[in-house]
Copies of this chain bind each other. A is one copy, B any other.
Amino acid sequence: MESIPSLSDIKRAHQRISKIILETPVMTSNSIDEMTGCTVFFKCENFQKVGAFKMRGAANMILGFRPEERVNGFATHSSGNHAQAVALAAKLSGTKAYVVMPENSAEVKIKATKEYGAEVILCEANEKSRIKTCNEIIAKTGAIFVPPFDDYRVIAGQATVAKEFIEAEESLEVIMTPVGGGGLAAGTALAAKYLDPNIEVILGEPEKADDTYKSMKAGKIMPVKNPDTIADGLKVTVGERNFEIIQKEVKEVITVSEAEIINAMRIIWERMKIIVEPSCAVPFAALLKRKDEFAGKKVGIILTGGNVDLGNLPF
Q: Is the CB of A47 within 8 A of B269?
A: no
Which of the residues B51, B272, B276, B313 comes within 8 Å of A310, measured between beta carbons? B313
Residue A128 lies at the interface, judged by CB distance under 8 Å to chain B: no
Provide the bound-state CA to CA distance between A280 and B270, in Å: 16
Q: Is the CB of A273 within 8 A of B310?
A: no
Chain B residues within an 8 Å CB radius of A272: 47
Tallying the copies of this chain within the complex gives: 2
Which of the residues B274, B276, B310, B315 comes within 8 Å of A266, measured between beta carbons? B310
Chain B residues within an 8 Å CB radius of A47: 27, 272-273
A118 to chain B, nearest CB (A): 16
- Known contacts A273-B51, A274-B274, A275-B275; A315/B311 CB under 8 A: yes
Residue A25 lies at the interface, judged by CB distance under 8 Å to chain B: yes
Residue A306 lies at the interface, judged by CB distance under 8 Å to chain B: yes
Residue A46 lies at the interface, judged by CB distance under 8 Å to chain B: yes
Which of the residues B27, B276, B310 comes within 8 Å of A315, measured between beta carbons? B310
A198 to chain B, nearest CB (A): 30
Provide the bound-state CA to CA distance between A51 and B274, in Å: 11
**Chain A 261-290 residues near chain B, CB threshold 8 A:** 266, 269-270, 272-276
Q: Is the CB of B273 within 8 A of A273?
A: no
User: Mask for A12-33, Cβ within 8 A of B = 1, else 0?
Assistant: 0000000000000101000000
Residue of B nearest to A31 (CB): B115
A161 to chain B, nearest CB (A): 16
21 interchain pairs, CB-CB under 8 A = A25-B25, A27-B47, A46-B273, A47-B272, A47-B273, A51-B273, A266-B310, A269-B275, A269-B310, A270-B310, A273-B274, A273-B275, A273-B276, A273-B306, A274-B274, A274-B275, A275-B275, A310-B313, A310-B315, A311-B315, A313-B313
Instruction: Taking A51-B273, A266-B310, A270-B310 as given, write out 16 further A-B residue pairs in contact, using a Cβ cutoff of 8 Å, ordered by the A residue number.
Output: A25-B25, A27-B47, A46-B273, A47-B272, A47-B273, A269-B275, A269-B310, A273-B274, A273-B275, A273-B276, A273-B306, A274-B274, A274-B275, A275-B275, A310-B313, A313-B313
Q: Which residues of A contact B (CB under 8 A)?
A: 25, 27, 46-47, 51, 266, 269-270, 272-276, 306, 310-311, 313, 315
